[in-house]
Amino acid sequence: MPSALAAATPERLFRQEVLALHAYHVPPCTGMVKLDAMENPYPLPPQLREEIARLVADAAINRYPDASARCLKEKIRTVTGLTQGMEVLLGNGSDEIIQLLALAVARPGATLLSVEPSFVMYRMIAAFAGMQYVGVPLTEDFALDLHAMLDAIKRHQPALVFIAYPNNPTGNLFDAEAIRQIIAATPGLVVVDEAYYAFADASFIPMLARYPSLLVMRTFSKLGMAGLRLGFLVGGKAWLEQLEKLRLPYNIGVLTQLVAEKLLQHHEVLLQQAEQIKQDRKWLYERLVGTVDVRAYPSEANFILFHVAHASKVFEGLKQRGVLIKNMNGVHAALADCLRVTVGTQEENERFIAALQESIHNS
């Protein structure tokens, strides 16, 4: 082999940060009760499915999509109740928007700051973009440690702060006043990530006009469109017009635009499903609280974090019984012996509770 070719190995060529990363792991799930990824478990009503089938049949998939997705953005503005002056940027899932924001601010030495434990992609994407990452620990009951946050902000002067509201994987909403103080103290952008907004009765969208460096990010993944990959960012024009330059022109495909527009015309169907999930969350939480050896954390999202002795064994026991949830044990010190379950249909929740009780008994 010519020596130039032999020299071209990933270890020699790729950045150390990339080599050091662990790939985001998605486990196989065929035939299982799937309660690991915060998806909406409900299918769409048959009539709506037929309308979508017709739309897809007529879609011009030989053409590139509308690069600015005008109609879809207008629908999003309407269902979100956005005021004039606020702009919308679309992403192929909100993951893509996190990446876009990091790319925009990643000057040498720039810092991305978040809390720990929280959504793992903030840390991973900081590494993708070559940014410094600072994770400020939450308190023991997973609240914001305001003093530690303000201290870290002063010390690290972050270009970008992410706060998941409600937080993943803990499920709680942080204190809104503490978030306001964090926004006021941050020299960079603060992104409030409202991925689980449909299951919580709180939002920072009404605060956008008051804080020019605040952006709010949402996704439709948890509302029943995880397979479409659609997230959006809302904020002032000055920020969003710069970010638009980094967005790849056709990041939202023809089918996603068409189907999402149709689903947002029937937004009430998805909101009703979210309402059902909120009710079932209550049932599931009470069952978890009533299970011996389990400590469940209250949740404002469509999942519940719980602590159980021998969590990894219990997790394997659930898998053997055909129920897939998420094992958080080992992900972060504060999550030792913690598991996270997504709220499913009533039947799925019942199967999960039965399998959990058996698994605890046998572990």
- The answer to whether 89 and 97 have CB atoms below 8 angstroms apart is yes
Residues 2-31 that bind ligand PMP (CB under 6 A): none
Cβ at position 300, least distance to ligand PMP in Å: 12
Among 119, 197, 239, 306, binds ligand PMP (CB under 6 A): 119
Closest CA to 323 of 7, 101, 31, 10: 31
Least CB distance to ligand PMP at residue 165 (A): 9
Interaction of residue 168 with ligand PMP, rule CB under 6 A: yes
SS3 for 341? strand
CB-based burial label for 30 (10 Å; 0-12, 13-18, 19+): exposed
Bridge partners of 295, per DSSP, are 307
- How open is the CA angle 9-120-195, to the nearest 5 degrees? 130
**CB-nearer residue toward ligand PMP: 52 or 226:** 226
| Contact track, ligand PMP, 66-105, x by CB under 6 A | ---------------------------xxx----------
Counting contacts by CB under 6 A, is residue 356 touching ligand PMP?
A: no
Per-position DSSP letters for 202-227, written without gaps between them: --SGGGTTT-TTEEEEEESGGGTTTT
Closest by alpha carbon to 92, among 247, 302, 265? Answer: 247
Taking CB under 6 A as the criterion, which residues in 301-340 touch ligand PMP?
none
Minimum gap (Å) between residue 313 Cβ and ligand PMP:
25
Restricted to residues 186-225, the positions that interact with ligand PMP (CB under 6 A) are 193, 195, 219, 221
Of 65 and 93, nearer to ligand PMP (C-beta) is: 93
Binding site for ligand PMP (CB under 6 A): 38, 93-95, 119, 164, 168, 193, 195, 219, 221, 226, 231
